[in-house]
């Protein structure tokens, strides 16, 4: 097993100059015949397209959400309180409505932001890297903020301990191992409806996206533009042998979708950095199991 290595400093991650003044608004794209109104807002480093839609609030709970109330990683009672608000109805066509959990997911992100650690910081970094590097500045199709938001929500459940989010580097890699697993297995479960696969039918080139994400995980400095003085003498390799085979395991056995399995992946990237003896023992058990599987298949 690998020991922990150097961390990142939030101030070390520098981005390029903004292309447009922060807060500028463009409503030229408003089209009345659509089901939504589009507002283009400059965030300072990119333009964000907001869809403004009519919403009908429902207090009626959804049975499928009851199991989600037991998930760890959120402030006590917050999941139950937020999910008890029910779902929204938004237009599906000019005559039909559909349910939407977007508001609930946004509230859950807010709860994560109330906790100590770098949960939202890690999401912000990957959102920036996704736009500028993985999607070539927004010129190519790729992962959406909704995909990355879902990855953070799952990572918060899989890594509920405060120590998992204490360091920025470790926080980012906790999102990365979940994202890599989802791309390798071509399955990203909806956080509140896990039977729904958010990658299915997306039309994305998941193989190409995986290669870009893995490349970043292996050598993030170029995309983050970290100054050389923050790198240390020789940055260690972050990808060990057998990573891709490990990432495929949840596809054949869903029981691998658990903290101990993802701890093995973190150990592969040398960013585990935990002290919990029970958790380390569980990770070592999974590690031995994967080695046994590997020897049986070879």
Percent of the chain's residues with pLDDT above 90: 42
Q: Would you kindly state where each structural domain of the chain is located, as residue ranges?
A: 22-52, 60-114, 116-297
Look up residue 138 and give its two tokens: 């927004």
Percent of the chain's residues with pLDDT above 70: 74
- d(CA 205, CA 275) in angstroms, rounded, equals 38
Quick check: 229 pLDDT over 50? no
* 107-118 mean pLDDT: 94
For 131, 183, 252, the CA distances from 205, given in Å and listed in that order, are 16, 10, 22
Residues making up the chain, counted from first to last? 298
Q: What is the DSSP string of the chain?
A: -PPP-----GGG---PPPSS-TT-EE-TT--TTSSSEEEEEE-SSSEEEEEE---EE-----GGGTGGGG-SSS-TTHHHHHHTT--EEEESSSS-EEEE-HHHHHHHHHHHHTSSSSHHHHHHHHHHHIIIIITGGGTS----HHHHHHHHHHHHHH--SGGGGSSHHHHHHHHHHHHHHHHHHT--B-SS-TTSBTTTT----HHHHHHHHHHHHH--HHHHT--GGGS-SSPPP---TTHHHHHTHHHH-GGG-SHHHHHHHHHHTT------HHHHHHHHHHHHHHHHHHHHH-
CB 267 within 8 A of CB 283: yes
CB 36 within 8 A of CB 29: no
Which is more confidently placed, 228 or 155?
155
Which position has the token pair 């709970």?
61
The phi, psi pair for 191, rounded to 5°, reads: -65, -40
β-bridge mates for residue 37, sequence order: 52
Average the pLDDT over each of 88-92, 217-221, 231-235, 257-261 and give the range with the smallest value. Answer: 231-235
* 221-237 mean pLDDT: 53
Q: Would you state the pLDDT for residue 166?
A: 95
Domain 116-297, what fold? Poly(a)-polymerase, middle domain (1.10.1410)
Q: Would you state the pLDDT for residue 57?
A: 81
CB 150 within 8 A of CB 191: yes
Which is more confidently placed, 50 or 150?
150
- Residue 78: CB atoms within 10 A of its CB come to 17
- d(CA 185, CA 206) in angstroms, rounded, equals 10
CB 172 within 8 A of CB 126: yes
Q: Would you state the pLDDT for residue 134?
A: 95
Pick from 178, 117, 183, 185: nearest CA to 149: 178
Q: Would you state the pLDDT for residue 240?
A: 54
- d(CA 176, CA 167) in angstroms, rounded, equals 14
Residues 6+ apart with CB under 8 A from 4: 170, 270, 271, 272, 273
- d(CA 225, CA 204) in angstroms, rounded, equals 27
- d(CA 213, CA 186) in angstroms, rounded, equals 14
Q: pLDDT tens for residues 121-142?
A: 999 999 999 999 999 988 899 9
Quick check: 193 pLDDT over 70? yes
Which is more confidently placed, 267 or 27?
267
Q: pLDDT tens for residues 53-80?
A: 888 887 666 655 665 656 788 888 888 8
Average pLDDT, the chain: 80
Which is more confidently placed, 298 or 117?
117
Q: pLDDT tens for residues 195-217?
A: 999 999 999 999 999 999 999 99
Quick check: 32 pLDDT over 60? no
């Amino acid at each position: 097993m690998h020991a922990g290595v150097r961390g990142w400093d939030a101030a070390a991650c520098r981005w390029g100059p903004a292309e447009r003044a922060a807060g500028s608004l463009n409503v030229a794209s408003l089209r009345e015949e659509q089901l939504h109104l589009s507002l283009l807002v400059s965030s300072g480093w990119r333009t964000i397209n907001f869809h403004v839609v009519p919403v009908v609030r429902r207090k009626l709970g959804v049975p499928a959400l009851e199991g989600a109330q037991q998930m760890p990683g959120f402030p006590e009672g917050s999941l139950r309180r937020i999910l008890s608000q029910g779902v929204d109805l938004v237009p599906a066509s000019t005559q039909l409505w559909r349910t939407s959990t977007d508001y609930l997911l946004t509230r859950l992100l807010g709860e994560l932001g109330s906790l100590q650690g770098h949960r939202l910081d890690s999401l912000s970094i990957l959102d920036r890297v996704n736009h500028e590097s993985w999607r070539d500045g927004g010129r190519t199709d790729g992962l959406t903020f909704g995909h990355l938001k879902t990855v953070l929500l799952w990572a918060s459940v899989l890594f509920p301990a405060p120590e998992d989010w204490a360091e920025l580097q470790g926080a980012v890699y906790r999102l990365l191992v979940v994202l890599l697993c989802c791309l390798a297995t071509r399955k990203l479960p909806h956080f509140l409806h896990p039977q729904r696969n958010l990658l299915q039918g997306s039309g994305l080139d998941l193989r190409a996206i995986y290669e870009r994400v893995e490349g970043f995980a292996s050598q993030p400095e170029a995309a983050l533009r970290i100054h050389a003085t923050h790198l240390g003498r020789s940055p260690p390799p972050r990808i060990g042998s057998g990573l891709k085979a490990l990432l495929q395991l949840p596809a054949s056995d869903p029981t691998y979708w658990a903290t101990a399995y993802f701890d093995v992946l973190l150990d592969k990237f040398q960013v585990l950095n935990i002290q919990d003896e029970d958790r380390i023992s569980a990770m070592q058990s999974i590690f031995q199991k994967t080695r046994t599987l590997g020897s049986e298949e070879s």
